[in-house]
């Protein structure tokens, strides 16, 4: 796939040139249309987490939002990237025949005015309760949603406060029930599902403005609840922010859509709202070891009903909620014992991460107990994840302590158990649980024979860029070692189980 990129870029460059020469639209020159915009991703969660999610790519352009229909799905995460897409445009979709991706300038969501503090501070959470024009039911009072989102434990507010160690909280309002201008069938009738979602946002905001709402500020977490389903048995969340035309001008915010009717008992709960908000915070799923949504240990997988389940240490580190003495990134050459506290605690070391340095695998270690928003997880113990850096969705997979049994409900590592990954010379032994709930964990990831202090073979000198991680430096040195240990250390990537 990567070798096709230059061709794409050249082709689109030619189209652009033709457009200039002939003074007409590039679309006419090539028998199709050309759209330039920022790619946005939306993830649909099937009801009861049964089945596979559907990831939808949209191109956000000055002309509107267009669903991208790829003949071959992209091999990289295009979210937030500027893309020039060529193909036939119809019904707010584009059948992509060719596309070019602008080189990435910044992480994580280039092109979107992503506020720097989008995972910290008070998230302005605006909920709108929407009634289809032909359905009068108001299945729950406003107070139900107030409790769900902002109330006492277990609410979404306490959920994110606990997950973030109070680095992030929710504040905002419950609005409605307000009647949408169209009956349910109108929204169901549009063939393009994401165009329907766009219309639901537009109509909900027009209605909100008519009812006195004065703005949806940038950075808002917009949660739309409906009194019936909107054409699918699913809930939907945007991956990060999108730009939207609103009655108050263009605004940047995330959106999650929650169905009502007989799906409300599933969707209007901490686990499902937390799951979609996890996407809104920018996270893909974890799990999919045996089947989709198979990890009860991450709200951005299946999570668990009632309290929701925390998200995983990789996400907490990415958000900056764990850092410094609360999460160690262990260097290659580590051989030590660590006392790791449950992820539900507010102090102490709560996560270990180990980057294998080959661009393919990293591991994380965390402790999970039945407490707080983890009260509903299936068991207690040590959770190890393997991050497949060559995957997009489902890249972070629990390493099952009981591999091959088809379930992750007993995936945790208990005292006396040892995880080892010979390909990387990595061994993790769960030694014991302490009375305060923490676990003593032995990590053995030694330098290979023949590598001296700090991984420097005595007769070799190489230069690495300033700031290169120690583990990466060690990798580069090991590549210079005699063939036998090198071969043992640099195998093809293995599955995580």
User: Which CB atom, from 284 or from 338, has the smaller least distance to Zn ion?
Assistant: 284
Instruction: Report yes or no: 353 and 314 within 8 Å, Cβ to Cβ.
Output: yes
Q: In what order do the strands lie in the sheet with 335-340?
A: 335-340, 439-444, 426-433, 418-421
Residue 131 CB, nearest approach to Zn ion (Å): 26
Q: How far is CA 346 from CA 75, 167, 342, 352, 375, in A?
A: 38, 11, 9, 16, 16
| Length, in residues, of the chain | 497
Q: Which is nearer to Zn ion, 280 or 478 (CB)?
A: 280
Minimum distance, C-beta of residue 347 to Zn ion, in the bound complex (Å): 31
Q: 45 or 119, CB closer to Zn ion?
A: 45
CB nearer to Zn ion: pick between 394 and 413:
394
> How does DSSP classify residue 494?
P
Are β-strands 93-101 and 418-421 bridged in parallel, bridged antiparallel, or unpaired? unpaired
Closer CB to Zn ion, residue 193 or residue 439? 193
Q: Are the beta carbons of 216 and 122 closer than 8 angstroms?
A: no
By the 10 Å C-beta count (0-12 exposed, 13-18 middle, 19+ buried), 270 is classed as: buried
The neighbour count for residue 120, using CB atoms within 10 Å, is: 16
Decide if 311 contacts 287 (C-beta within 8 A): no
Question: Which residues contact Zn ion by CB under 5 A?
Answer: 43, 45
Nearer to Zn ion by Cβ, of 56 and 148: the residue is: 56
Least spacing, CB of residue 373 vs Zn ion, in Å? 18
Closest distance to Zn ion from the beta carbon of 430 (Å)? 30
Which among 367, 361, 382 is positioned nearest to 430, based on CA atoms? 382
DSSP 279: H
Using alpha carbons, select from 186, 204, 276 the residue that is nearest to residue 245.
204
State the minimum distance, in angstroms, from the CB of residue 283 to Zn ion.
9
Give the nearer residue to Zn ion in terms of CB position, either 294 or 355.
294
Closer residue to Zn ion in complex, CB, 45/311: 45
CB 205 within 8 A of CB 247: yes
- Min. distance of Cβ 275 from Zn ion in angstroms? 6
What six digits make up the tokens of 114?
């992503």
């Amino acid at each position: 796939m990567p070798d096709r990129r230059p061709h794409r870029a050249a082709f689109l460059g030619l189209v652009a040139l033709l457009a200039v020469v002939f003074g007409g639209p590039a679309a006419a020159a090539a028998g199709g249309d050309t759209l330039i915009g920022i790619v946005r991703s939306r993830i649909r969660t099937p009801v009861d987490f049964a089945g596979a999610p559907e990831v939808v790519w949209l191109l956000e352009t000055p002309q509107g939002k267009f669903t991208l229909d790829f003949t071959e799905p992209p091999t990289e995460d295009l979210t937030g990237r500027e893309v020039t897409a060529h193909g036939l445009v119809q019904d707010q979709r584009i059948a992509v025949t060719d596309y070019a991706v602008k080189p990435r300038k910044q992480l994580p969501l280039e092109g979107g005015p992503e506020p720097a503090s989008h995972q910290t501070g008070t998230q302005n959470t605006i909920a709108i309760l929407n009634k289809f024009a032909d359905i009068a039911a108001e299945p729950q009072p406003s107070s139900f949603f107030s409790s769900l989102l902002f109330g006492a434990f277990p609410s979404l507010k306490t959920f994110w406060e606990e997950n973030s160690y109070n680095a992030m909280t929710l504040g905002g309002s419950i609005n409605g029930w307000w009647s949408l201008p169209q009956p349910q069938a109108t929204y169901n009738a549009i063939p393009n599902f994401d165009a329907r979602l766009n219309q639901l946002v537009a109509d909900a905001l027009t209605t909100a403005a008519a009812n006195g709402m004065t703005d949806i500020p940038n950075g808002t977490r917009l949660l739309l609840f409906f009194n019936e389903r909107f054409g699918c048995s699913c809930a939907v969340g945007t991956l990060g922010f999108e730009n939207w035309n609103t009655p108050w001008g263009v605004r940047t915010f995330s959106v999650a859509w929650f169905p009502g009717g007989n799906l409300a008992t599933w969707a209007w709960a901490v686990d499902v709202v937390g799951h979609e908000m996890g996407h809104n915070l920018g996270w893909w799923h974890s799990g999919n070891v045996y089947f989709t949504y198979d990890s009860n240990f991450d709200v951005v997988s299946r999570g668990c009903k009632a309290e929701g389940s925390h998200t995983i240490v990789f996400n907490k580190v990415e958000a900056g909620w764990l850092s410094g003495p609360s999460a160690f990134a262990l260097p290659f050459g580590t051989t030590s014992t660590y006392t790791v506290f449950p992820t539900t605690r507010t102090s102490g070391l709560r996560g270990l991460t180990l980057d294998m340095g080959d661009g393919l695998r990293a591991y994380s270690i965390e402790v999970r107990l039945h407490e707080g928003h983890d009260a509903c997880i299936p068991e207690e113990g040590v959770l190890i994840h393997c991050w497949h850096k060559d995957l997009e969705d489902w890249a972070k997979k629990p390493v099952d302590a009981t591999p091959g049994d088809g379930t992750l409900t007993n995936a945790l590592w208990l005292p006396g158990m040892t995880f080892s990954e010979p390909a990387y010379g990595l061994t993790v032994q769960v030694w014991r649980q302490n009375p305060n709930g923490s676990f003593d964990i032995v990590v053995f990831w030694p330098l290979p024979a023949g590598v001296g202090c700090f991984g420097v073979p005595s007769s070799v000198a190489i230069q690495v860029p300033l700031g290169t991680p120690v583990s990466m430096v060690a990798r580069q040195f090991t590549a210079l070692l005699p063939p036998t240990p090198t071969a043992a250390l640099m195998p093809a990537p293995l599955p995580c189980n």
